[in-house]
Structure 1
Amino acid sequence: METFDLIIIGGGILGSATMFYAARAGLKTALLEQRNSLAAHTTAQAVSCFRKQWAEPDFFYLMKNSIEAYENFGALTG
């Protein structure tokens, strides 16, 4: 029987990101997704825009860092 350090259920943006960083950290990881592609349902609908206005300053910094990570993801993953 094959064993894993981490099994992720769902390949949306959170599941995909969790798998990416867990595998990068050296964990043997499996991701279970019912569709044929990752981040293809609500993520694909929502990714066309980023909210840039927040009532709390902490959310602004989180959003700013998220946009930078998104823009640099190709360079990070090769």
Structure 2
Amino acid sequence: MERSPKLRELMVRAKSGDLEALEQIISKLNPMIKKISRDLGYDEAYSDLVLWVVNAVHRYAPATARDDESKKDHINKSNDGKN
């Protein structure tokens, strides 16, 4: 069985112009988009939310290994004072 790509992987691919990856992201988020659009209750809510997702994909900045190490260092320093 073929594995489904993780959202992070799809985001990177979509940001680089892969339209199929963007379609997969929207498909994965579709149930949530539909629910929120119903909750918002106006005619164009669904299309506005899909557009918001597309824009969010283009703004996406994946964390780098350096960012991950920075977060770990910060967490470790925060936990040092709690012991």
Indicate the TM-score class for this superposition, using the shorter chain for normalisation: under 0.3
Between structures 1 and 2, the one with greater helix share: 2
Taking structure 1 as the reference length, what is the TM-score of the superposition? 0.25
Which structure would you say has the larger Rg? Answer: 2
